Amino acid sequence: MKIIYHPHARQRMQERGTDQKEVETAFRTGEKFKAKFGRVGFRRNFSHTKSKYTTKQVEVYGTIEKNTFVVITVICKYF
């Protein structure tokens, strides 16, 4: 499935410390869940060594349109 990024998502990725590789991995291999407004989310944990936290959870939110996943926003949680 093709993945495209809304400009808002690219900005949030940069602000929140993730990259396209992690977002695509979360989408392809992460846990799928329902989100608000008919959207879908994907979540995956990654090993993180760049701070006091050891795990980074990447949540990707978007819509599926004509065999394309449109990434609307990305949230990162560190623990």
pLDDT at site 24: 98
- pLDDT band at residue 10 under the 50/70/90 scheme: very high
Full DSSP string of 16-79: HT--HHHHHHHHHHSEEEE-GGG-EEEEEEEE--SSS-SEEEEEEEEEEETTEEEEEEEEEEE-
Whether 51 shows a pLDDT value over 90: the answer reads no
pLDDT at site 63: 97
